[in-house]
A and B are shown apart, each in its own frame.
Chain A
Amino acid sequence: MTLLDALRHQWTQQWRSTNWGRNLVTTIFLAIAAVYFGVLFVGLGWFYPDVVAEMTPERDPLRLLNAYLLHGMVMLTVGRFVLQRSAGSAVRPYRSLPIPKGRLTRLLQVTSALSLFNLLPLVLLGALGASTVGPSASAVGMAYWATGVLLVLILSQFANSLLRVAWDRNPSVVLGTAVLFAAGLGLDALGLGSLRLASAWCFDGLSTGRPLPLIVLATGAVAAGWAAHQALRTRLYAVGEETSTGARVTPRLTGLRELGLKGQTASLVQLSIMLILRNKRPRQMLLLNVPLTIGLVVFMGPQLSGDPFLEMLFGFLLTASLASPYFQFGGLAWHGNHFDVLLARPPIPRTLIQSQFALFAGLCLCSVLTVLPIVAWQAPGLLDTLAALLLYNLGVSAPAFLLLGTWNRTALAVNQTAFFNHQGNTSLAMISIAALITLPLTLFFGVGLEPALWILAGLGLLGLGTAPIWMRGLGRLLHRQRYTLAAGFRATDL
């Protein structure tokens, strides 16, 4: 089996898929997005020296770039881990064929490398090289630098493969690594870290024509390549075991039972948490929103506290950033695939509503806790806005989202990717979310920031105070809608 065969199979698989129409649309979207981002990245790279000259004229663009290239690699690896298709995810049919494991592993690595996660950084780095490195470095320095960033890109690809295999074996290893890197980046931001120094040593050295960083990077890439190859070879066995009686064991998630919470509501909350963590689409949506939220606060924090409009808008988004991806579909649609299980069991509709509210509240609190340290540090003036909008989201947005849940008739395919995926989206959901954002903004324009915050907090408290009433009402509504809801979920083509 050659690389051409592997590529041909990928193409045929797409073309003959029962979802080929959707795949085609997705591919077109992806191509348009790739062109858009490609042009954007070329522009970004090309005008980068001008931007630096405009914003921080005292700094040398090349030195600034070199000091942060390793940060870029870390971020790229994180992005790959969350978004890029895993090497080996469709290898099962080939395992029984007489293809040497080494060749199969190499094919997997090459096919998984044909990704926008390699193409777009290459475009950006090419533009940066031409605009920033080329004019300042010698021909040798430029060649070394270009080779160096290429090696970093390759390292990132291999690191992702290793992380994926580690995640399959023991997710805590990956989480531990992520915590270490996060701590490293945090220290770096405080000027105490060594990543920036390492990056500067490496790429400043390369651009001045020193070969030692190149040797270090090349050694690292070869070692990571070898390790990734071995890890993927091992993964081939794991893929085979999934089909046999030899169990692929899965770690037990510490449940709410272990936390001492009991009862049907806690049990249903636990079920939803497991649904989020163990299924691709809700997990991707949640995991993506964590760095996005943190990034938003880090980069926008100082501006947010100075602009009342942005303060109001982002206050709304930040206090529900982890809840909104899940609840934009109303919540129950995620359970569409097994809604009959819930219907046939004792939990009454009101218990389902209570569990969904508890999950919404928990995710909102997690959203706030995620950004609270950064906000307290960078924009303490935003804290009262966050408090008011948290109350608003708990008391007003929550019942609105739960109401939406009783009207959604399309089950969500939980194991599809979250990207370029509009399955289950409804115009009603978009209108509802728009209405929920519009109310705070209207109040802001009508009465100003501070009175608007008091009104929103009051509305939120009113909603929370009357929760038993509206939960009972929503429970009754869900009870009335249960047949049409279940029929819609059953009829959804998953």
Chain B
Amino acid sequence: MHLTTDHLTKRYDNFELSLPNLSIDAGTAFGLVGNNGAGKTTFLRLVLDLIRADAGTVQLDGEAVADTFDWKTRTGSYLGPSFLIDFLTPDEYWHFVGQTYDLSEAEVNDRLQSFTDFYVDEPIGDTTKYIRDLSTGNKNKAGLIAALLPEPDLLVFDEPFASLDPRSQIQLKELLQERRGDATMLISSHDLGHVTDVSDRIAILEAGEIVRDEPTDPDTLEDLTTYFRDTIRPKETEPAEA
């Protein structure tokens, strides 16, 4: 799906997110990095039509997300544990999500097979714990699987690597690599290494504005590290008060 913004603005008390003309081609994995409060999650919520923009629109394949529904059947997302239904078991949650995408039970079961190596700590099946009783890592895995399950054209993830153990982080990268090229991916992360590995293009969001937006290359990780190091260096090099 081709994602564009048209003079998109969202204002809070002392903050304004402004993305006048962002364009992400279909099949591109778009990484979004930035410090806390930069507006990453706000942007993802606007893309998913969870909050109303103060001005402008987010468009998917030319249609404003706030005015249409069809894009939702082609979108999978996970923005954190609050995006889970915690009184369901993971298995029930996946089947519920599958039904909302009009997937048959057999299709859901079939697709879940590809996640058996990823979701290993808890049993997938008839009896398991409620999501509210899972560890944070396993909650996140349940949400990530639910987002990937419909094999959507647009994937939206907020901090997908957070709280995952190293093994699961590597597996998640492999899962995302498998979808690379087929799905447009919007991935916000504080983990510069992982987000660089899975993205075709990375933007830095700073105080509500994109200050840098470049395709990834072998130097991207070092460039990003340098960028964020430079933002703190002035404080570190200030001479101590006498």
Q: Interface on A for B, CB 8 Å cutoff?
A: 242, 245, 247-253, 255, 257, 262-264, 266-267, 270-271, 274-275, 278-279, 337-338, 340-341, 343-348, 414, 483, 486-487
Residues of A within 8 A of B127 (CB): 249-252
Contact B89 A250 (CB under 8 A): yes
Complex CA–CA separation, A260 to B25 (angstroms): 41
**Nearest A residue (CB) for B95:** A257
Q: Interface on B for A, CB 8 Å cutoff?
A: 48-52, 69, 72-73, 75, 77, 79, 82-89, 91-92, 95-97, 99-102, 105, 121-123, 126-130, 133, 135
**Nearest B residue (CB) for A257:** B105
User: A346 with B105: in contact, given A252-B92, A252-B126 (CB under 8 Å)?
Assistant: no
User: A345 with B72: in contact, given A249-B127, A263-B99 (CB under 8 Å)?
Assistant: yes
Contact A267 B83 (CB under 8 A): no
Partner of A274, one of B88, B101, B128: B88
Give the distance to chain A from B99, nearest Cβ to Cβ, in Å.
4
Nearest first, the 8 closest Cβ-Cβ pairs linking A and B are A267-B99, A483-B52, A278-B87, A249-B127, A346-B72, A346-B73, A345-B100, A338-B85
Secondary structure dominating the interface of B: loop
Complex CA–CA separation, A248 to B133 (angstroms): 8
**Nearest B residue (CB) for A266:** B99
Contact A247 B99 (CB under 8 A): no
Complex CA–CA separation, A253 to B128 (angstroms): 12
User: A341 with B84: in contact, given A247-B122, A263-B99 (CB under 8 Å)?
Assistant: yes
Residues of B within 8 A of A414 (CB): 87
Contact A487 B51 (CB under 8 A): yes
Residues of B within 8 A of A270 (CB): 96
Give the distance to chain B from A393, nearest Cβ to Cβ, in Å.
27
Give the distance to chain A from B24, nearest Cβ to Cβ, in Å.
18
Contact B129 A344 (CB under 8 A): no
23 CB contacts below 8 A, A to B, read: A245-B121, A247-B122, A247-B123, A249-B128, A250-B89, A250-B127, A250-B129, A252-B89, A255-B95, A257-B105, A266-B99, A267-B100, A271-B85, A271-B88, A274-B92, A278-B87, A279-B87, A338-B85, A340-B50, A343-B48, A344-B79, A345-B101, A346-B100
Complex CA–CA separation, A486 to B66 (angstroms): 14
Give the distance to chain A from B143, nearest Cβ to Cβ, in Å.
9
Residues of B within 8 A of A348 (CB): 69
**Nearest A residue (CB) for B122:** A247
Give the distance to chain A from B159, nearest Cβ to Cβ, in Å.
15
Contact A344 B77 (CB under 8 A): yes
Complex CA–CA separation, A270 to B133 (angstroms): 21
Residues of A within 8 A of B88 (CB): 271, 274
Not counting A341-B83, A486-B50, a sample of 7 additional A-B residue pairs whose C-beta atoms are within 8 angstroms of each other reads: A247-B122, A248-B133, A253-B92, A267-B96, A340-B83, A341-B84, A483-B51
User: A343 with B87: in contact, given A247-B128, A249-B127, A267-B96 (CB under 8 Å)?
Assistant: no
Residues of B within 8 A of A242 (CB): 133
**Nearest B residue (CB) for A335:** B85
**Nearest A residue (CB) for B121:** A245
Give the distance to chain B from A284, nearest Cβ to Cβ, in Å.
14
**Nearest B residue (CB) for A256:** B99
Give the distance to chain A from B100, nearest Cβ to Cβ, in Å.
5
Residues of B within 8 A of A262 (CB): 99
Contact A344 B128 (CB under 8 A): no
Contact B87 A274 (CB under 8 A): yes
Contact B123 A338 (CB under 8 A): no
Contact A271 B96 (CB under 8 A): yes
Contact B100 A343 (CB under 8 A): no
